[in-house]
Structure 1
Amino acid sequence: MRDFEGVWSLRKYITQEGAPDGEFRGSAVWRTHDDGMRYAESGYLKLGDAAPISARRSCFWRDDLSVYFEDGRFFHKVPPDGGSTEHWCDPDLYHVTYDFDHWPRFRIRWRVSGARKNYRIECIYDDRRQVSKTGGPLTPMQRFTVKPTDDAG
């Protein structure tokens, strides 16, 4: 699990039934904490034609790859070699697939369906931070005008 430790660039592509598609660009950080790692992501979320908004999320990963919400409730367990798992949150089912085939780049694909939710999210993690042409961090608007050059993998 220590292979996750550090800062990763993170892109999320959101497809929603009956709502605007979205895109998140930012970073994800895994830091050692107690018997696992604290995960925190932050960046900017753009839904449809709306202006980007600041977005944050965090959780806790235990050494056995069990993932817990910030409030301590169990979420799911990551398959060590990649693969699928699920989380039931009545009345919706969260199906997730971890793809580590191109490590240190990896993907997480979510399919959420049920009475209240119907969307997909593809998360792409890269072991290097996105930087602008000047070498500094991207501004919120640059995050949505710079397109990835290689989405294969």
Structure 2
Amino acid sequence: MITLNDFAGAWRLSRHIEDALAGGTARLEGYCRFTPQDDGLLCTESGTLILPGREGGFTAERRYFWRSDPDGIAVFFDDGRFFHRFDPNAASPAADHDCAPDAYAVRYDFSGWPLWSAQWRVKGPRKDYVSVSQFSRRRRSPEADDRPCRD
């Protein structure tokens, strides 16, 4: 059984974003760290985002707050607004988030735990993409918890 606390620590993050409108694939390579805070985990994703047709990449970072809840795990944006809820132990963990005029649908896969993934399908008047993120445990060293989540 996977619980919120099982996510604590550092994870390697690899994301591919297939953008149907832009006609290309963006990539993000970096880390995701779940840090205990208050009554949950602060999730910080950071890495280098490489956009199609552009030289080099740039640093991207995003934060969420994950909290245990009777139905599994509730995810909030870093400003406290509710994002979505999922059950990591469901046969096919999934959730939806409507942000008019856009619709977001996520499908998680924990079947290879501690390897896991999140696939987002985003559709709206100016958005049409699929983002697939792969997470794997970061190799641990004695000072791993003190280092920032960057190479």
TM-score range, shorter chain: 0.7 to 0.9
- In the TM superposition, what whole-angstrom CA distance separates every residue of 1:45-81 from its partner, at most 9, and x where no partner exists? 0011311111000010112210000111100002222
**1:15 has 2:41 as partner:** no
- 2-structure distance, mates of 1:79, 1:91: 26
The equivalent residue for 1:94 is 104
Higher normalized strand content (fraction of residues): 2
Shift of 1:116: 2.5
**1:52 has 2:53 as partner:** no
In the alignment of these two chains, the number of paired residues is: 132
Correspondence 1:100-115 to 2 at 5 A:
100-115=110-125
Q: RMSD of the TM alignment (CA)? A: 1.6
The equivalent residue for 1:32 is 36
Shift of 1:17: 1.4
Identity of paired residues, percent? 39
Paired residue secondary structure (1:2) = helix
Partners of 1:26 and 1:41 within 8 A in 2: yes
TM-score norm. by structure 2 comes to 0.83
TM-score norm. by structure 1 comes to 0.82
Query: Which structure 1 residue ranges, 5 or more long, are not aligned?
Result: 130-136, 140-153
Correspondence 1:72-87 to 2 at 5 A:
72-81=80-89, 82-87=92-97
The runs of at least 4 consecutive aligned structure 1 residues that moved more than 3 Å come to none
Shift of 1:92: 0.7
**In terms of mean alpha carbon deviation, does 76-85 or 22-31 score higher?**
76-85
- 2-structure distance, mates of 1:100, 1:29: 17
- In the TM superposition, what whole-angstrom CA distance separates every residue of 1:84-113 from its partner, at most 9, and x where no partner exists? 110000001100001000000001000000
- 2-structure distance, mates of 1:80, 1:138: 27
- 2-structure distance, mates of 1:93, 1:63: 24
**In terms of mean alpha carbon deviation, does 2-11 or 15-24 score higher?**
15-24
- 1-structure distance, mates of 2:30, 2:136: 11
Partners of 1:79 and 1:85 within 8 A in 2: no
Query: Which structure 2 residue ranges, 5 or more long, are not aligned?
Result: 140-148
**Pick aligned residue for 1:5 from 4, 8, 32:** 8
